[in-house]
Amino acid sequence: MLVLTRKVGEKLLVGEDILVSVIEVNRGSVRLGVEAPQSVSILRFEVYERIQEENLNASQSVSPTDIQQAAAFWRQKGALQEKGQANED
Amino acid sequence: MKIDTKQFGGMEIEESEIYTMPGGMPGFRGMKRFVIIERQEIWPFVCYQCLDDPGLSFYIMDPALFMPDYKLDMKQAILEAGWEGDRPEDIKLYVVVNTSAGVPEKITANLIGPLVVNMRRHEADQLVLHKSPYSHQHLIFSQPLSPPAKNKPMSREQAVPA
């Protein structure tokens, strides 16, 4: 990992077109500005990690039985709603 | 061509049914080729089977079925996926579902990691929504179904087998 020191107002160029600026430093927090092409997604890593974890869980924990039962619930719920609407009419 | 699947065993598909994910999915970057398998017994869920690893599959669904007002900035999505020039009509939207609670009735949908599938390019991408009002574990059945007839009414928590 590259580690370097920057002061407030200084910038970093990543690749050819991603510019990271240090805007403010305040009690353990650093405010950064990122200029990048629109096609580059910029994420707080925690959000990415959450998706990663959710994907891992989804690929491992959902069994065919689970999904068939959930599908059955879905149909049952749809049927209940239709019945409810019919009663209201 | 013949493929192996996690849930449905061996099956025959057309080459044109394959969707490529150049960037993979978070957690599965190297997995590039997928196929969408629709089966009546699991509808409204759809199986998203990986061809590079037959042991890897997801269940996905169209979010409009349970949340008609689910919104995604399609223009931004097209840019992020590198699909400049394509129209929103070329793109189908899915969300990945999860039963990590161990109870099918509590199945959740990941609304901040939608899967966009480009029907024209035969490519797909999983977006990561940065500023989003949605949850990564949205309960699809937001209102509990009445449990099957039991002796006395139970709360939702008690109704779930341990």
Q: What is the average pLDDT across A74-81?
A: 80
pTM of the model: 0.82
C-alpha closest to that of B45 among A66, A57, A53? A66
pLDDT higher than 70, residue B113 = yes
pLDDT higher than 80, residue B120 = yes
The residue with tokens 């069994």 is A63
Q: What is the average pLDDT across A3-9?
A: 95
- Please indicate if any CB of chain B lies within 8 Å of the CB of A66: yes
Give B107 or A89, the one with higher predicted confidence.
Answer: B107
Give A82 or B17, the one with higher predicted confidence.
Answer: B17
Q: Write b or e for each residue in B56-88: b if 16 or more Cβ atoms lie within 10 A of its Cβ, otherwise e.
A: bbbbbbebebbbeebebeeeebbbbbebeebee
- Please indicate if any CB of chain B lies within 8 Å of the CB of A82: no
ipTM of the complex: 0.83
Provide, as residue numbers in chain B, all residues whose Cβ is less than 8 Å from the Cβ of A41: 80, 127-128, 130
DSSP state of A55: H
> Which pLDDT score is estimated for B23?
87
Q: Give B20-74 as a DSSP string.
A: E-TT-BTTBTT--EEEEE--GGGTT-EEEEESS-TT-EEEEE-GGGT-TT----H
pLDDT higher than 70, residue B144 = no
Across the interface, of B98, B113, B126, the residue whose CB is closest to A62 is: B98
C-alpha closest to that of B110 among B12, B53, B26? B26
The two tokens of residue A33 are 């500005």
Please list the residues that pair with A18 across neighbouring strands. A14
- The sign of the torsion formed by the CA atoms of A57, A60, A66, A68 equals positive
- Please indicate if any CB of chain A lies within 8 Å of the CB of B16: no
> Which pLDDT score is estimated for B76?
85
pLDDT tens-place string over residues A7-66: 999 999 999 999 999 999 999 999 999 999 887 888 889 999 999 999 999 999 888 899
Give residue B30's pLDDT band: very low, low, confident or very high (50, 70, 90).
Answer: very high
Across the interface, of A38, A68, A77, the residue whose CB is closest to B42 is: A68
C-alpha closest to that of A10 among A64, A19, B2? A19
Q: How far apart are the first and last CA of chain B?
A: 43
DSSP state of B146: P
* Inter-chain touch B82–A39, beta carbons under 8 Å: yes
> Which pLDDT score is estimated for B131?
80
> Which pLDDT score is estimated for A40?
82
Q: How far apart are the first and last CA of chain A?
A: 67
Question: Which residue on chain A is closest to B143 by alpha carbon?
Answer: A77
When mean pLDDT is compared across B128-132, B136-140, B155-159, the lowest value belongs to B155-159
* Inter-chain touch A48–B128, beta carbons under 8 Å: yes
The residue with tokens 């999983």 is B126
Q: Which of A49, A67, A82 to mutate to test the interface with B (most CBs of B within 10 A)?
A: A67
pLDDT tens-place string over residues B40-94: 999 999 999 999 999 999 999 999 999 999 989 898 889 888 898 999 999 999 9
User: Are B80 and A41 spatial neighbours (Cβ–Cβ below 8 Å)?
Assistant: yes
pLDDT higher than 60, residue B159 = no
